[in-house]
Amino acid sequence: MTTNVHTPAATGEDAVDLRDPYPFFARRRRETGVFRGTVMDYSKTPESFRPKREYSAMSFDAVNRVFRDGRVFSSKPLDKTIGLFTGPTILAMEGKKHRDHRNLVSAAFKSRALAQWEPTIVRPVCNALIDEFIETGEADLVRNFTFEFPTRIIARLLGLPAEDLPAFRKRAVQLISYHVNYERAFEASAALKDYFLEQIEQRKSKPTEDIIGDLVTAEIDGEKLSDEAIYSFLRLLLPAGLETTYRSSGNLLYLLLTHPDQFAAVQADRELIPQAIEEGLRFETPLTMVQRFTTEDAELEGVDIPARSVIGVCIGSANRDERRWERPEEFDIFRKHMPHISFAAGEHTCLGLHLARLETRVALECVLNRLTNISLKTDDDPHIHGQPFRSPTALPVTFDAK
């Protein structure tokens, strides 16, 4: 016997706390793994972008099933949300078209490329940023480091001129913030289209060894990608490559700095860095929720969900499900390994997960290699904040140069 649990959107006393949404997530998850309602705050979202009928998947099992059953829980309607600003991308493709485009693009992120990028791009970028503040003995690691390095790395991987970086980043942030100001996001989308078309044309006449150059020469079934397919993917790469990596690396630094014993352990043994990264992603995922859409009537954890409903897939709740982890509300890099779901699952698993892990590992290694006696300044109450995107408001630190 199934039930149809109805709970309205979070408002008033039951609203999600942007500083700490996890008690709200836990309360909902313990009541039911799926509820009718939302964990989102739509107060700044235009009415036309707000779902008319929304459910939220809160338990690990529910979230995992939604991600792995792309036929019933589809991402295709994302073409009508973020797709309005990025254009048609693999995010909303299905079937053979999705597999063909994903395989083509994923070749740019293969292990051989990552191994080459670490010493030639990723590590030099991180060290160059540290060079800019190391003599001062203090810095805001968000403003001076975590916000900067993914942008510079993506720009280098795409082969963009260094002087274009400020404008490129500004437009990227505006596009990512479409739910706050959609008119500005449309303007940013158009500007990025024009910018990337110029880059594409340059590579047609003069091939380059970068991601844009690879996409210009790539073929599917004997046909080259259209300009629209290329610049749409490049616009999708912005939230994937910039937003989540800067946030996840900042989250990890904050968690280590506020857990001195674990930070000291990582400083003493760099072999602990990979498990620290995974625990950071589990405990404070940079993106707590994404959306899927039901293609037919469905049942999820005993809840009937009609066709054409929006499903809020709450990764932040799933990663703290007490049925999967002991002490899920504690940050513990020494806990028994149990895979989290921060990179999603199924056919739409995050394409850049290996690059994200590489960037975070190298960033942390560079900080540990070059700075010592690092201490978080707590006067201004730095903390992790936001929903669905989460990251520290600031990371003001003092340190000694090694």
Q: What is the pLDDT of residues 96-117, one digit of tens each?
A: 766 666 666 666 666 667 888 9
Residue 67 belongs to domain with CATH number: 1.10.630.10
Q: Is residue 368 part of a domain?
A: yes
Q: Is residue 69 part of a domain?
A: yes
**Is the pLDDT assigned to residue 7 strictly greater than 70?**
no
Q: Is residue 267 part of a domain?
A: yes
Q: Which residue has the higher pLDDT, 86 or 192?
A: 192
Q: Is residue 2 part of a domain?
A: no
Report the distance separating Cα 330 and Cα 311, nearest Å: 28
**Is the pLDDT assigned to residue 141 strictly greater than 70?**
yes
Positive or negative, the CA dihedral 202, 203, 209, 215 is positive
Beta-strand relationship, 384-385 and 391-392 = antiparallel
Q: Is residue 111 part of a domain?
A: yes
Q: Is residue 44 part of a domain?
A: yes
* Residue range of the domain that includes 256: 12-401
391 within 8 A of 398, measured Cβ to Cβ? no
Residue 88's pLDDT is 62
Q: Is residue 6 part of a domain?
A: no
Number of domains in the chain: 1
DSSP alpha helices (H): ranges in 120-164? 123-131, 149-158
Residue 78's pLDDT is 66
What is the overall mean pLDDT for the chain?
87
Report the distance separating Cα 366 and Cα 363, nearest Å: 5
Beta-strand relationship, 298-300 and 371-376 = unpaired
Q: What is the mean pLDDT of residues 338-346?
A: 95
In tens, the pLDDT along 12-61 reads: 445 679 999 999 999 999 999 999 999 887 777 777 767 789 999 999 99
Residue 75's pLDDT is 84
Lowest-pLDDT range, 218-222, 305-309, 354-358? 218-222
Q: Is residue 319 part of a domain?
A: yes
Count of residues in the chain: 402
160 within 8 A of 199, measured Cβ to Cβ? yes
| pLDDT-derived band at 356, boundaries 50, 70, 90 | very high
